[in-house]
Structure 1
Amino acid sequence: MTEPEPVPGLFTLVLHTHLPWLAHHGRWPVGEEWLYQSWSASYLPLMRVLRTLAAEDRGHLLTLGVTPVVAAQLDDPYCLQGMQHWLANWQLRALEAAHLRTVADPSPASAPEALRQFGSREYAHAERELADYETLWRHGASPLLRELLDGEVIELLGGPLAHPFQPLLNPRLREFALREGLADAQQRFVHTPRGIWAPECAYAPGMEADYAAAGVGHFMVDGPSLHGDTALGRPVAGSDVVAFGRDLQVSYRVWSPKSGYPGHAAYRDFHTYDHTTGLKPARVTGRNVPSEAKAPYDPQRAEAAVDGHVADFVDTVRQRLRAESARIGRPAHVVAAFDTELFGHWWYEGPLWLERVLRALPAAGVRVGTLSDAIAAGFVGAPVELPPSSWGSGKDWQVWSGEKVADLVTLNGEVVDAALSTVDKALASDAAPTPRNFVADQILREALLTVSSDWPFMVSKDSAADYARYRAHLHAHATREIAGALASGRHEQAQRLADGWNRADGLFGALDARRLPGA
């Protein structure tokens, strides 16, 4: 068998792992269920894929962004226990499906025999996930990720605490959130990320200076931020900080707002449930087929579709590398970037596709590496001035600053101003050194949760908008309540309030208000 002709350049796969803080804030339909679904369907399989490939002596596979708020939940004892309960419940629901004799749902996928076959397979799947979880995840995600980082299997991207939309954030809190986020990664993984996935890929001119000051050497933007010319990383303005753009031609081949592999008729349908067990036994079947008419899921049919889409993606990458290299007159860099949750949670077959594509690309003569590999190998072009941008609708800031969320923009500004002024006064002390102030810490923690970019995104997209507004106003109330007691000299009440809110919002235990930059 002849070796394939190598193609010029480098391919990088970037995954962005993010969910808001969900622990202690509702269960269903939005809340902890979202965390446990993503954990079981995406994070567990992704870790298995990476460990399997690492055991084959494969390295520098992909660049993995893990936001501090996700890392906090994957290490949190309450969430770890909740996840084990969720996996066991999944197994029980699969067992129920495997033994049903009559069903209330008349759809083909929920017919008794189809559901029994599906339940048997689902039970085995849940059993494997539960065994993996109990064996490997007992101490959370950090030890597993550290092993992959130590072995140079992946590159880690970090980010600011609580995932704020940085361009609209007070510069003091923006700097604090970023520095604390990088420190949080160092504590968990014993690796300080050199690169970040900026929340929502959002950029405002001048932010590269903040990144350089914090030790960040590269970050992600969407393709249109670079006017579609994503063939090389580009230093931003007069800095040494490199922006990498997502190649939309390649990325959209997998998933776009309108199309992509997960919509194939053979794949498991995300939106169709069996109402007795809560499982998803149907395949997509067809674009306009109603849920009650969808056909039963067929794993062999789905696996054949995966192989076809692996071959298609490899061919797409090869063609794109050749075309871009010819266009710029030197070997090009192609970056495909996605939310991690696409692989498994939204697209059930996604982890299998990932495993096979990460084997197939090198076998097809494509050099695979990380963003740091790209810099080290010189895939960096001329400096560029970036416009204000994001990866949201319109590629501007409208999702987070438009009319639909004008009230949240105002709320965020008022809450942050109140938090910063209260913390400044609380830490103004003649004592040296200033003692740590737990109340001030909790005020900043709640303020950061208030300004999470998830809430305006969910409102703008009308996706659980009521929950998003509730969460934004809940954390705003917490910030104001604690700050009001502290500002009026009711120190004991402020302490009690901070203690109470911390029981629900105790993430980022090392957050220290004394490190807040001066006014």
Structure 2
Amino acid sequence: MKREGTFCLVLHSHLPWLAHHGAWPVGEEWLYQAWAHSYLPVVDMLRRFADEGRTDVLTLGVTPVLAAQLDDPYCLRGAHDWLGNWHLRAQYAGPRLRELSAYEHRAATWSLEQFETHWRHGFSPLLRALTDSSTIELLGGPATHPFQPLLDPRIRDFALRTGLADTALRLGSAPEGIWAPECGYSPGMEHDYARAGVRRFMVDGPAMHGDTSSARPVGDSDVLAFGRDLEVSYRVWSPKVGYPGDPAYRDFHTYDHPTGLKPARVTGKNVAPHEKRPYEPALASVALERHVADFVETVVRRLRAVDGGLIVAAYDTELFGHWWHEGPQWLEAVLRALPEAGVHVTTLRGAVDAGHVGTPIELPASSWGTGKDWRVWDGAQVSDIVSLNTQVQRELLELDFSGEVRDPVLDQAVREALLALSSDWAFMVTKDSAADYARYRAKIHSDRFSELATLFRSGRGHARASELRAADGPFGHLDARSLRPN
């Protein structure tokens, strides 16, 4: 069979720190929905590929702040309770929505079995098995997913090293590649990456001037940038023509409010919720087959256009199952169909080993957000958050990190600062997605940081730091003294 070229699928798994910060409609509910509908089926798929002896199936980014939640005992208990509640809701729907009730009951039963069999000790044992077997390549990142170009270099370096160290503690070694949060880049960051041991990272296609057919060393460094191919990625991702909008697929936004289940199919873009048709899995399966074939054809066509080079498609993991109900089935079908079409499926690491490395490139300031610039995180709409972040960074760098021993008050102050600097809050405001919640989260972490900073300077605050650590406690290894100037 003719080898058409190389394809890399990159999945970016990320949610901000949600534990102890509200439940519905955003907060812990968001975490548990993504856990049930995306992480469980995607990991099950990868485990089955591992059992088959498949290697370098895909590149999986897992942000440290998400990994912390998927290992956290409080979150594990909460996820188990949520799955049990889903099981009960499916039963409760029976008299009114008989077919939906049976469908959801089977799904909830399977999910409970998966969780109780494989997940009760957290995500890290599962993830380590997948990396040790080379089924996947893992990408890490900065601790709380901050928009790095807007950080002071000292804080940017600390956030990255804290995130890499966290992954190393969970899995035994630090990843060589990262998903740069929001694909945010500013010239010179490649040298920061090199010093931290990062050898490759993701940017969006336009940052590479549209030529994403190979990895490229950035500037005079040995750090490689991989660019997302937009033509291929948008077959799925585009809100206008992407597969999840097909009339046969389950509609994400339409709920049966007594049970919280989703009974309708998309039906049409301009169809009111009460007019949408009932979901029919058989119709969705027909659409799925069509979209698998279309994606494979698109990849092969693009590979021929780049003379058998490299195509990288990248998506949020949460798209598959959480946002797009049929996504996990599509994902597995595509990963099985592409090799049958003569496409070499591998990881970013595998693409380097296969020789898909081009000439050096100078990257512009960029992101994968609207306009491919920084406006989502630095625009007028989020000027309040930008101002808050600037204030947090200024006060953080003024603290005294010269102590001979760790100080729990200082450590928790830094932890709250990192949570305040998460890129999610500005993104949610700009996109008008739970904007009030996002502003609340940015403000509460900023306020808690300032409170602890004041207590630290006065030599007090151990009780308050312990109280806040119970709610905001990721990265127990975090040592604030690492922020001291060189």
TM-score, length-normalised on structure 2? 0.99
User: Which residue is 2:372 aligned to?
Assistant: 395
Question: 1:452, CA displacement in angstroms?
Answer: 0.3
Question: What SS is found at the alignment partner of 1:146?
Answer: helix
- Per-residue deviation, residues 147-178 of structure 1 (Å, max 9, x unmatched): 00011000000000000000000111100110
Partner of 2:118: 136
Amino acid at match of 2:407: N
Quote the residue 2:269 is aligned against.
Answer: 287
Q: Which residue of 1 aligns with 2:12?
A: 16
Find the aligned partners of 1:388 and 1:83 in 2 and give their Cα distance.
39
Deviations 1:430-458 (A, max 9, x none): xxxx1111111111100000010000001
Matched residue, 1:108: none
Return the alpha-carbon distance in structure 1 between the equivalents of residues 172 and 288 of structure 2. Answer: 36
2: CA distance, partners of 1:18 / 1:418: 28
Distance, in Å, in 1 between the alignment partners of 2:80 and 2:202 is 34
Matched, 1:484 2:454: yes
Query: What residue number does 2:428 align with?
Result: 458
Instruction: Say whether the 8 Å CA contact 2:402–2:481 is kept in structure 1.
Output: no
1:428 pairs with 2:395: no
Matched, 1:46 2:28: no
Whether the 8 Å contact between 2:212 and 2:227 is mirrored in structure 1 is yes
SS for the counterpart of 2:8 is strand
Per-residue deviation, residues 13-35 of structure 1 (Å, max 9, x unmatched):
00000000000000011100000
SS in 1 for 2:219: coil
Aligned counterpart, 1:328? none
The residue correspondences of 1:45-64 to structure 2 (distance < 5 A) are 45-64=41-60
Who is 1:161 aligned against?
Answer: 143
Q: Secondary structure at the match of 2:2?
A: coil
Please report how far the alpha carbon of residue 497 of structure 1 lies from its aligned counterpart in structure 2 after TM superposition.
1.7
SS at match of 1:411: helix
Matched with 2:131 is: 149
Aligned equivalent of 1:186? 168
Matched, 1:258 2:257: no
Q: Which amino acid aligns with 2:310?
A: H
Aligned residue in 2 for 1:343:
320
Distance 2:52 2:209 in 1: 39
Q: How far apart, CA to CA, are the structure 2 residues paired with 1:354 and 1:54?
A: 15
1:283-308: CA deviation from partner (whole Å, max 9, x where unpaired):
11122211101111111111111111
| 3-state DSSP of counterpart to 1:135 | helix
Distance (Å, rounded) in 1 between the aligned partners of 2:243 and 2:173: 34
1:418 and 2:395 aligned: yes
Distance 1:258 1:197 in 2: 26
Q: Secondary structure at the match of 1:15?
A: strand
Q: Please point out which of 78, 81, 92 is paired with 2:74.
A: 78
Percent of residue pairs bearing the same amino acid type = 62
Distance in 1 separating the partners of 2:432 and 2:465? 32
CA distance in 2, matches of 1:274, 1:295: 13
State the partner residue of 1:247: 229
User: Paired residue for 1:275?
Assistant: 257
- The Cα offsets for residues 309-346 of structure 1, whole Å up to 9 and x where unpaired, read as 11111111111101111xxxxx3100000000000000
Select which of 309, 332, 337 maps to 2:309. Answer: 332
For the aligned residues, what is the CA RMSD?
A: 1.0
Q: Is 1:17–1:339's contact at 8 Å kept on the other side of the alignment? A: yes
- Measure, in 2, the Cα distance between the counterparts of 1:37 and 1:361: 29
SS of 2:344's partner is coil
Looking at structure 2, the residues matched to 518 and 8 of structure 1 have their Cα atoms a distance apart, in angstroms, of 51
Amino acid at match of 1:417: R
Q: 2:86 aligns with which of 79, 83, 90?
A: 90
- Asked whether 1:237 is paired with 2:214, we answer no
Contact 2:246/2:266 (<8 A) preserved: yes
C-alpha displacement at 1:257, in angstroms? 3.6
Contact 2:239–2:245 (CA under 8 A) maintained in structure 1: no
How far apart, in 1, do the equivalents of 2:40 and 2:183 lie? 25
Q: How far did 1:189 drift?
A: 1.1
1:386 aligned partner: 363
In the alignment, residue 435 of structure 1 is paired with which amino acid? V
Return the index of the structure with the highest Cα Rg: 1
Instruction: Give the partner amino acid of 2:286.
Output: A
Would you say the 8 A contact 2:67–2:124 is kept in 1?
yes
Contact conserved, 1:22 with 1:35, CA < 8 A, in 2? Answer: yes
CA contact (8 A) 2:424 2:438 kept: yes
Letter in 2 for 1:292: H
Q: Distance in 1 between matches of 2:56 and 2:259?
A: 40
Out of 442, 448, 468, the position equivalent to 1:472 is 442
Q: What is the SS of the residue equivalent to 2:343?
A: coil
Tell me how far apart the structure 2 counterparts of residues 419 and 214 of structure 1 sit (CA, whole Å): 21
Say yes or no: does 1:361 pair with 2:338: yes
- How many angstroms does 1:52 deviate by? 1.4
The amino acid across from 2:374 in the alignment is W
For 2:209 and 2:288, how far apart are their aligned partners in 1? 32
How many Å separate the matches in 1 of 2:258 and 2:415? 40
Q: Is 1:373 aligned to 2:350, yes or no?
A: yes
> For residue 307 of structure 1, what is the aligned residue in structure 2?
289
Partner Cα distance (1:189, 1:95) in 2: 39
Q: CA deviation at 1:517?
A: 4.5
Letter of the structure 2 residue corresponding to residue 47 of structure 1: V
Q: 1:373, CA displacement in angstroms?
A: 0.7
TM-score, normalised relative to structure 1: 0.92
Task: State the match for 1:495 in structure 2.
Answer: 462
Mind listing any 5+ residue stretches in structure 2 that lack a counterpart? none
C-alpha separation in 1, matches of 2:3 and 2:53 = 22
Distance in 1 between residues matched to 2:37 and 2:128, nearest whole Å? 21
Judge which range, 507-516 or 16-25, deviates more.
507-516
Report the equivalent of 1:199: 181
The one-letter code matched in structure 2 to 1:513 is: A
